Amino acid sequence: MTFDAQQLDSVLLVGAVVMLVAILAVRVSVRAGLPSLLIYLLMGVVLGESGLGIRFDDANVAHALGFAALVLILAEGGLTTHWPDIRPAMRMGVALATLGVAVSVTVVAVGAHVIFGMDWQLAILLGAVTSPTDAAAVFSVLRRVPLPRRLTGALEAESGLNDAPTVLLVVLVSSGHALDYGVAGFVGIVAYELFLGVVGGLAVGFGGAWVMRRVALPSSGLYPIAVLALTVLAYAGTAALHASGFAAVYTAALVLGNSELPHRQVTRSFSEGVAWLAQIGLFVMLGLLLSPDRIGWVHVGTAITLGLLLTLVARPLSVFACSLAERMRWNELLFLSWAGLRGAVPIVLTTIPLAANVPRAEELFDIVFVMVVIYTLLTGPTLPWVAKRLGVSRQGELRDLEVEAAPLERVAADLLQITITRHSRLQGVEVGELRLPPGSSVSLVVRDGQTLVPDQRTVLRADDDLLVVTPRKVREETEQRLRAVSLRGRLAHWLEE
């Protein structure tokens, strides 16, 4: 098969059109409260052999490209994660990514074996591929819901960490040699690969940060490329040592993203763009891999039944089991149970048994594809309503504003955006009464579409947007002060915290 310049022109034309449509679709998905992955999957199905006729059925290529995309997506997740936000919830996140995955796999596997008579290999694979949550799916929806940091931190840590153990489980089960060394040997292999992956990620992360702080590159645009290359190095290097590359890439990215590196905001923005590109390509490819003609009512019924088992039984059991590691209120545990969105990761994982020629792997792919689509449509739009009904959404929650401003980097400061809701007690408070830590200040107020430079006597109103500049060393203190005033008003300084 040859590939010439004329074919390249056609590929670039189709690729550019698909990319632009996918980017515009983000706006539609945000308004509808749905993860954009559903639109991208649909685009792939439309482009596929049952639609416009593009044929793609190579499971090995899909497996390789899917893993490459997941590496970039996990790297972006680590680089854009604020460590102080997830540190308090790290125990819960780790528990969900390990104990939670084990409970979920067990429940779904037993259900698939008992209800549908699947052999144990296929049943365990079904439980394994559907257990991990997907960071892209979760946060594309949660971005619209103001939640306590302990919840967003737990969900973010879980989605970043649970890929590694499930990938290992699926690979070992697909090979047919998972229990060659017994149950204890199997657990030991998984623990060894995860531990070595984390150690490798820490080594690349801290070593890379040390080098990046001391090297003087000739162009600022080279720094983001170098940082992303370090995360890929962490994956490939540990994978070459037969350790968990996914654990390594997320760990290395988390270290690099929270280190004082030159042009850190530019690096984060670059990684977000690369991750979007990877997500779009990944979801469209998975849509191409699906043949709608293969899907019958049996697949749909199986997907609905197992999805109910996963959503209403396996996920809640795993969350409540993990509450032993981190005590949380019952309403928070219920929300974590409902917020376990599955996205591209389960579908990508099904390419592993496809590439390994596991019996009925094609059927597994179709069932998981249908399950992901149906339950993303069910859980995605309802998350804001569920958060409100359970009383876990927070009014007046602070959100960081990503700004690519070199002066902020030079003074080691961050720019925060705060929206004053109608339930917040920030309204009616004068700027001077905020008593922000030294060095922090309200630099701009956006009111009714107009900008206002405030002074100490400016009174804040509902629906105002504030831009607050704060040195990074007092950022956490600044956020705590603003949150306290939002909850208790101008007397929060004297009231009990």
CATH code of 270's domain:
1.20.1530.20
Residue span of the structural domain in which 452 resides: 398-493
Identify whether residues 325 and 466 lie together within a single domain: no
> Does residue 3 form part of some domain?
no
> Does residue 2 form part of some domain?
no
pLDDT at res. 12: 86
Distance CA 77, CA 201 (A): 14
The 10 Å Cβ neighbour count of residue 47 is 19
pLDDT at res. 31: 63
pLDDT at res. 107: 94
Identify whether residues 80 and 169 lie together within a single domain: yes
pLDDT at res. 144: 62
Identify whether residues 255 and 328 lie together within a single domain: yes
Identify whether residues 238 and 377 lie together within a single domain: yes
What digits encode the pLDDT tens for the residues 236-259?
A: 999 998 888 888 999 999 999 888
Identify whether residues 373 and 225 lie together within a single domain: yes
Mean model confidence pLDDT for the chain? 82
pLDDT at res. 205: 94
Identify whether residues 273 and 226 lie together within a single domain: yes
pLDDT at res. 402: 40
Sheet with 398-400, strands from edge to edge, namely 398-400, 413-419, 465-471, 441-447, 450-452
Residues in the chain with pLDDT values less than 70: 1-4, 28-35, 135-146, 178-182, 394-412, 492-497
What are φ and ψ of residue 240, in 5° steps? -65, -25
Identify whether residues 408 and 382 lie together within a single domain: no
Residue found by looking up tokens 């309403």 in the block: 331
Identify the burial level of 302 via C-beta atoms within 10 angstroms of its C-beta, where 0-12 means exposed, 13-18 middle and 19 or more buried. buried
The whole-angstrom distance between residue 459's C-alpha and the CA centroid of its chain comes to 38
- Among residues 336, 355, 390, which one ends one of the domains? 390
pLDDT at res. 405: 35
Identify whether residues 466 and 385 lie together within a single domain: no
pLDDT at res. 103: 93
Angle subtended by helix axes 297-309 and 361-379, to nearest 10: 60
Identify whether residues 99 and 57 lie together within a single domain: yes
Residue found by looking up tokens 């102080």 in the block: 84
Identify whether residues 382 and 438 lie together within a single domain: no
What digits encode the pLDDT tens for the residues 423-432?
A: 788 888 888 8
> Does residue 1 form part of some domain?
no
Q: 393 is written with which tokens?
A: 């959404």
The 10 Å Cβ neighbour count of residue 9 is 10
> Does residue 220 form part of some domain?
yes
- Among residues 390, 416, 440, which one ends one of the domains? 390
pLDDT at res. 403: 36
pLDDT at res. 401: 39
Q: 264 is written with which tokens?
A: 């850190």
Distance CA 229, CA 397 (A): 34
Q: Are 108 and 306 in contact (CB under 8 A)?
A: yes
> Does residue 205 form part of some domain?
yes
pLDDT at res. 154: 84
Count structural domains, the chain.
2
Identify whether residues 264 and 347 lie together within a single domain: yes
Distance CA 195, CA 197 (A): 5
CATH code of 450's domain:
3.30.70.1450
- Among residues 390, 419, 438, which one ends one of the domains? 390
Identify whether residues 33 and 53 lie together within a single domain: yes
pLDDT at res. 236: 93
Instruction: Provide the β-strand partners of residue 467.
Output: 417, 444
> Does residue 17 form part of some domain?
yes
3-state secondary structure of 459: strand
